[in-house]
Amino acid sequence: MRVKIKRLAIDAKTPTKATNGSGAYDLYSTEATVLPAEERTAFGTGLAMEIPEGYVGLVCSRSGLALKQGIAVLNAPGIVDADYRGEVKAIVINHSTTQPLVVSKGDKIAQILFVKAEDVNFEDVEELSSTERGVGGFGSTGK
């Protein structure tokens, strides 16, 4: 798949995969900032993308930032639609109650995963097929 990118900032970095086996591409901040504890912001990547029709980009948290510092993409995942042409940003929250997040220009701030987005036709019906789970919701399948 080819995704065209337009640099909106001179220092914008092309998304990269950390390893050949990685599914998502790291997104880099074009901003140097300090995100205080329990605050949120939108980090710019300095990139606009032309995602092919029928696909969507999912902006997700980076596992290391989440585990080690409590940093997460707030609207996880953030959705970048194929018809969007503005700057790709990561809405990030600092879940720490005490530690600020210090971000330098060029730091990895989130990741983007490209997935197929199927068109759906909804059909009104009187009944749905039965399953073993049925209407069992939150926690109904056990630990």
- The per-residue pLDDT for range 38-80, each reduced to its tens digit, is 999 999 999 999 999 999 999 999 999 999 999 999 999 999 9
pTM of the model: 0.90
Cα distance between the two ends of the chain: 38
Cβ-contact 94, 100 below 8 angstroms: yes
* All structural domains of the chain with their residue ranges: 4-116
Does the domain formed by 4-116 have CATH 2.70.40.10? yes
pLDDT given for residue 139 in this prediction:
74
Q: How many other CB atoms are there within 10 angstroms of residue 4's CB atom?
A: 9
